[in-house]
Amino acid sequence: MRSYPHGAEIFVLDGEFADEAGRYASGCWLRLPAGSAHRPYTTRGCTLYVKRGGLRYLTSANEFAHDLAADRQR
């Protein structure tokens, strides 16, 4: 089981990737929200781009402004 406490994005660059929810061919993009978990596998091999956490551009404008202000204070 692979988990993503802060979420993740997965882009299938080549081959085929699968988990318990389905199969994803080259060109597929998956968004896994914070707290997601799955059991990834491949039978033919694959090349993936995985971006863990962040996903700040998917938050609301108010949340983004709050996070930005907090980052500036650090």
pLDDT at 7: 87
Residue with tokens 């061919």: 25
Half-sphere CA count of 37, side-chain side, radius 13 A: 5
CA dist., res. 69 & res. 74, Å (int) = 9
Give 9-36 pLDDT, tens digit per residue: 999 999 999 999 999 999 999 988 888 9
